[in-house]
């Protein structure tokens, strides 16, 4: 778990608070959007007999526009809502960067959480005897 906290802390130290917040909010919003889309698309495509990859291929690109919208909101707030003060090529390049960092951070944290859960599950299995185990000869039932 401390590696997850370190990963998030590295985002703040490397890219600054604004960038890190855009990246973390991108992860949250993409997952809030992605889960229902997968669910509905899976049901629809199963009824049609199509492959689920039709939808998942394009959903993987979702972090870039989400990061663009979030960075645009932050930029508008920082410039006092002056559209003329925004440097659009920089905004677009940051959106791609933030989208890529959101994907990388999400996948890295997801793998760390899966490893942590597997470690905890393995520890619980070794600590608790199986429910169907026979009591030892010297134990009272």
Q: What is the pLDDT of residues 33-73, one digit of tens each?
A: 988 888 888 788 888 888 777 777 888 889 999 999 999 99
Instruction: Give the C-alpha separation, 24 to 57, whole Å.
Output: 22
Q: Considering its fold, how many domains does the chain have in total? A: 1
Assess if residue 24 is contained within a domain: yes
Here the contacts of 125-131 (C-beta below 8 Å, separation 24 or greater) are: none
pLDDT at site 135: 56
b/e map of 100-113 (b: 16 or more CB within 10 Å)?
ebbbebbeeeeebe
127: region left, alpha or beta (phi > 0 left; psi from -120 to 50 alpha)? alpha
pLDDT at site 55: 75
94 has a pLDDT exceeding 80? yes
Query: Residue 68 belongs to what domain range?
Result: 2-115
């Amino acid at each position: 778990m401390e590696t997850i906290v370190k990963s998030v802390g590295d985002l703040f130290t490397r890219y600054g608070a604004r960038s890190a917040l855009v990246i973390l909010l991108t992860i949250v919003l993409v997952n809030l959007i992605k889960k229902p889309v997968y669910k509905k698309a899976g049901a629809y495509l199963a009824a049609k007999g199509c492959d689920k990859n039709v939808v998942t291929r394009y959903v993987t690109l979702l972090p870039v526009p989400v990061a663009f919208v979030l960075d645009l909101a932050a930029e508008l707030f920082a410039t006092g809502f002056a559209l003329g003060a925004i440097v659009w090529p920089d905004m677009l390049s940051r959106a791609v960067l933030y989208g890529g960092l959101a994907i990388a951070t999400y996948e890295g944290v997801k793998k760390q959480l899966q490893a942590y859960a597997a470690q905890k599950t393995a520890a619980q299995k070794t600590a608790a005897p199986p429910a169907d185990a026979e009591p030892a000869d010297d134990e009272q039932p």
